[in-house]
Amino acid sequence: MPDLPPVIGFVPIARPTFDVPLAQEMTQQVVQQLTGAGFSLVGTPYLVMDGEAVAERIRQLQNTPPDLLLVLQASFADSSMVQALAAQVDAPLLLWALPEARVGGRLRLNSFCGINLAGHALRRAGFNYEYVYAAPDNPAALEKVRILAKAAAVRRRLRDTRIGRVGENPAGFETCIPNQPALKAQLGLEVVPVDLQGIFAGVRAQPAEQVAALAQTVKQQVTGIDEMEAVATNGTLGTFLTLEHIAAAERLDGLAVRCWPEFFTDLGCSACGALSMLSNQLLPCSCESDVNGTITQLILQWISGEPAFGSDLVSFDAAEDVAILWHCGLAPLSMADPSVQPRATIHSNRKMPLLLEFPLKPGRVTLARLSEATGAFRLVIAGGEMLQAPPSFTGTTGTLRFDSGAAAVMDMMLREGLEHHLSLTYGDHRETLLALAQMLNLPVLEL
């Protein structure tokens, strides 16, 4: 699915007994700010002032569903129009009220009182909403709209999401057991079973010339391919081509792959390099058939516009205040430290190629996990700084300094019984994740 700008349903409401020309002028200023910031608006800037007009606007928004519904309180109005919009337009709701100058004369807009009245009615009726109280050109207001619109776009995209589950999770990996009915009910997404042996058959049937062409492409990014055992390396490359084809044919947005032991025992290669390359081209993949991990990667990818990586937390050093993220070779190549040349390698335990080895690049990161450790979904969120450091272990490693400290994160992970996989992307996206969690009715655990 291509990345598209969030769509905002825009409804300016007012009452004829207030200063309509001023309300219309302020509405035009808000529209100019929103369109100038790159938002796509559904709805005209003309004031909605009665039941007939709001019914027409509702029909328009139902025909062109927005990601976020922004109701501008251009002047005071009672709560009836806002309640009708909230009940009939399926989108998170943002109320925007406008301050007005204290000039000693008439109260021309009374906008704040309008959203106060609306907020009370919405809360009594069980509707959630966010609000802005600011002038049209307020940068903080526009930033809040941006965060909410991005989160709302992710919420809507999740409803059309299909995650391919390739095989079952390994025994003893309860962290990777998907709750498919709950995922459908709360997030709207679908988990599609994919036969593991069917994947192996597809790998074995891959044309040799296509595998060879892919190998030449990978050689331009990674050293040491020619030093790897050829049959196993071609198996990993064939896995990439097969999974890429299956994802396109089945309209899959991500893959959760049972990567061991059958890839080693039945196919004679590692899946890791293939999953790394697929994640790098924005088809997020997790190992051990971790569906929730892939969903988390997809959310982070949509928010950041960059690849995401599902990793293990394998070490904590309280004295240095760092934690070590690791995986045998699953991280997207775009996350490689630019000062280090990525190289081909073998799996540290199974001794088979193809894996991609490098340390993660330094920079700000956001970490998350769609967790079911309590038996119900919640969203785990953390922030930190990836440090430039030599590899701690073979495979892909990152030396991370959590904002809240290594010791505190370690203690919370173990006391809460969190999953062993934590996903990350670069940049600080915690505010958007918090907004998304509220839209999905997900409790939040901040590490």
Q: In this predicted structure, what is the pLDDT of residue 54? A: 96
Flag whether pLDDT at 2 surpasses 50: no
Q: In this predicted structure, what is the pLDDT of residue 194? A: 96
Q: In what order do the strands lie in the sheet with 254-257?
A: 190-194, 162-166, 254-257, 285-286
3-class DSSP assignment, residue 239:
helix
Is-contact 422 314, C-beta < 8 A?
no
Flag whether pLDDT at 107 surpasses 90: no
Nearest partner of 342 among 274, 282, 391, judged by Cα: 391
DSSP state of 245: H
Rounded to an integer, what distance in angstroms lies between the CA atom of residue 107 and that of residue 80? 22
Burial label for 103, CB within 10 Å (0-12, 13-18, 19+), is exposed
Nearest partner of 61 among 31, 38, 90, 20, judged by Cα: 90
Q: In this predicted structure, what is the pLDDT of residue 102? A: 87
Q: In this predicted structure, what is the pLDDT of residue 395? A: 85
Mean pLDDT within 326-350: 92
Flag whether pLDDT at 1 surpasses 50: no
C-alpha of 319 from chain center: 33
pLDDT in tens, 166-195: 999 888 888 889 999 999 999 999 999 999
Tokens representing residue 93 in the block: 């709701």
Domains of the chain with CATH codes: 7-158 (3.40.50.10940), 162-446 (3.40.275.10)
Q: Please, how many CA atoms are within 13 Å of residue 265, restricted to the half-sphere of its CB?
A: 7
Mean pLDDT within 420-431: 97
Q: In this predicted structure, what is the pLDDT of residue 105? A: 82
Flag whether pLDDT at 5 surpasses 90: no
pLDDT in tens, 142-153: 999 999 999 999
Percent helix, strand, coil in the chain, to 5, is: 40, 25, 35
Flag whether pLDDT at 380 surpasses 90: yes
Tokens representing residue 298 in the block: 């997809």
Mean pLDDT within 274-286: 96
Dihedral, 17, 18, 24, 29 alpha carbons, nearest 10: -160
Rounded to an integer, what distance in angstroms lies between the CA atom of residue 306 and that of residue 333? 11
Is-contact 302 1, C-beta < 8 A?
no
Mean pLDDT within 64-83: 97
Is-contact 369 419, C-beta < 8 A?
yes
Q: Which of 49-58, 166-175, 281-290 has the lowest mean pLDDT?
A: 166-175
Rounded to an integer, what distance in angstroms lies between the CA atom of residue 142 and that of residue 116? 21
pLDDT in tens, 429-441: 999 999 999 999 9
Is-contact 190 165, C-beta < 8 A?
no
Phi, psi of 314 (to 5 degrees): -115, -10
Is-contact 242 203, C-beta < 8 A?
yes
Phi, psi of 412 (to 5 degrees): -70, -40
Rounded to an integer, what distance in angstroms lies between the CA atom of residue 383 and that of residue 402? 6
Burial label for 129, CB within 10 Å (0-12, 13-18, 19+), is middle
3-class DSSP assignment, residue 346:
coil
Q: In this predicted structure, what is the pLDDT of residue 44? A: 87
Phi, psi of 117 (to 5 degrees): -65, -45
**pTM for the whole structure:** 0.95
Is-contact 190 178, C-beta < 8 A?
no
Buried b (16+ CB within 10 A) or exposed e, 215-245: beebeeebebbeebeeebbbbbbbbbbbbbe
Is-contact 115 156, C-beta < 8 A?
no
Helices (H), 71-207: 80-88, 111-125, 139-158, 180-186, 196-204
Is-contact 95 68, C-beta < 8 A?
no
Flag whether pLDDT at 4 surpasses 80: no
Q: In this predicted structure, what is the pLDDT of residue 228? A: 95
Burial label for 46, CB within 10 Å (0-12, 13-18, 19+), is exposed
Rounded to an integer, what distance in angstroms lies between the CA atom of residue 406 and that of residue 346? 30
Q: In this predicted structure, what is the pLDDT of residue 81? A: 97
pLDDT band at 3 (very low <50, low <70, confident <90, very high): low
Rounded to an integer, what distance in angstroms lies between the CA atom of residue 320 and that of residue 377? 33
pLDDT band at 350 (very low <50, low <70, confident <90, very high): confident
pLDDT in tens, 11-29: 999 999 999 999 999 999 9
Rounded to an integer, what distance in angstroms lies between the CA atom of residue 435 and that of residue 299? 12
Max Cα distance, the chain (Å): 84
Name, in order, each residue with C-beta under 8 angstroms of 52's C-beta and a sequence gap of 6 or more: none
